[in-house]
Amino acid sequence: TEELQSKLAVSDIRALLVGRDCPHMKGRKASHQLAFSLALEGVDLQSLDCVAPDELALSYWTDGINALLGQRMQSKETEKDLDTLLSMEIKLRLLDAEGVTIPQDPPPIPPDPPHYHFCYDLK
């Protein structure tokens, strides 16, 4: 098995910092909207500083790190996904499914067909 030379345990992450709160962006006039940092403890580094290539990548990274830390995912992408899921749930509940019993277990898988010759011979 391969050993990773540079690795970081989730337990070493103290906080996720975004934008102006990032240590590598303090005092800089450069754009800070795509910056994020992991404030660390118990390792040689004080922080792991990053800049995402675009807003979508920033959302993915910050949501993923927040999920690892057991914190709320706050990006616009997550909000949009939650809205979509809630909309689908409401639509499903509005379907006329009254009196229809939905089984708890999936139906049994049928046996394999006797052969797999499903194409026609057009000769």
Domain count, the chain: 1
Tell me what pLDDT residue 24 has.
80
Residue 38 to residue 65: CA distance in whole angstroms: 9
100 assigned to some structural domain? no
114 assigned to some structural domain? no
Q: 6 vs 42, 44, 66, 100, CA distance in Å? A: 15, 12, 21, 55
79 assigned to some structural domain? yes
3 assigned to some structural domain? no
List, for residues 8-23, the tens digit of each pLDDT value.
Answer: 888 889 989 888 878 7
Domain housing 61: 10-94
List, for residues 77-111, the tens digit of each pLDDT value.
Answer: 999 999 999 998 888 777 766 777 778 898 899 99
pLDDT surpassing 80 at residue 28 = no
CATH of the domain at 35: 2.30.29.30
117 assigned to some structural domain? no
Two tokens, residue 116:
């797999």
Residue found under tokens 């009196």: 99
28 assigned to some structural domain? yes
